């Protein structure tokens, strides 16, 4: 996926998550969208920093990097939501490219992708972006609305989402 696709995905994801978390369509909804927008977009852009520093699709496209961003809200009470952008970037690179990413780097350099991944510059790339974004929002809605409230609240609090 190219940077445009990552930013569009992150922007729609931030708005969608803001509405899911604060569905009342009041000022709080707009404030939540604003709260999520910049961290998620920055998280979606971060992995491709390895085009300049490191090896692209390896150095910053792996699970240890994602765990670092998951740990920040838990241990330092900051960088909430950035992990959402990073995770979404990974999904788009796995599904929206032929190449895949090195999930277990630096332990294992093999790049993992889906066999039906589409080339980054193909006409199907925007379709993959829309489908992945819709699936991400559907999964978030399922977590927020269908899990037992104590489990959903606990998971969201642990991840710094609430
Ligand atoms: Zn990438």
The pLDDT, as a whole number, for residue 156 is: 66
Percentage of the chain lying above the pLDDT 90 cut: 64
User: Could you tell me the residue ranges of all domains in the chain?
Assistant: 3-158
> CB of 137 within 8 A of CB of 20?
yes
Give the mean pLDDT of 138-160. 78
DSSP output for 47-69: GGGGGTSS-TTTTTSSHHHHHHH
C-alpha angle 54-87-51 in degrees, rounded to nearest 5: 20
Q: Which structure tokens are listed for 31?
A: 């404030």
> CB of 28 within 8 A of CB of 22?
yes
pLDDT in tens, 97-146: 888 999 999 999 999 988 877 777 788 888 889 999 999 999 989 888 88
Cα of 153 vs centre of ligand 1, distance in Å, is 31
Cα of 68 vs centre of ligand 1, distance in Å, is 17
Cα of 28 vs centre of ligand 1, distance in Å, is 32
Give the mean pLDDT of 57-75. 96
d(CA 23, CA 27): 11
Cα of 125 vs centre of ligand 1, distance in Å, is 14
d(CA 105, CA 80): 24
- Phi, psi (degrees; rounded to nearest 5) at 101: -135, 160
């Amino acid at each position: 996926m190219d940077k445009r696709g990552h930013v569009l995905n992150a922007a729609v994801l931030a708005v969608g998550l803001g509405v899911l978390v604060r569905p009342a369509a009041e000022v709080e909804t707009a404030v939540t969208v604003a709260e999520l927008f910049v961290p998620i977009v920055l998280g979606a852009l971060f992995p491709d920093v390895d085009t300049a520093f490191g090896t692209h699709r390896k150095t910053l496209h792996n699970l240890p990097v994602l765990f670092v961003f998951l740990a920040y809200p838990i241990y330092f009470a900051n960088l909430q939501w950035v992990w959402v952008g990073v995770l979404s970037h990974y999904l788009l690179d796995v599904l929206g490219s032929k190449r895949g990413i090195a999930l277990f780097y630096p332990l294992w350099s093999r790049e993992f992708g889906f066999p039906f991944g589409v080339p980054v510059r193909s006409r199907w790339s925007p379709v993959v972006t829309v489908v992945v974004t819709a699936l991400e929002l559907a999964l978030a809605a399922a977590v927020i609305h269908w899990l037992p409230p104590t489990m959903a609240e606990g998971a969201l609090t642990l991840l710094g989402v609430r």
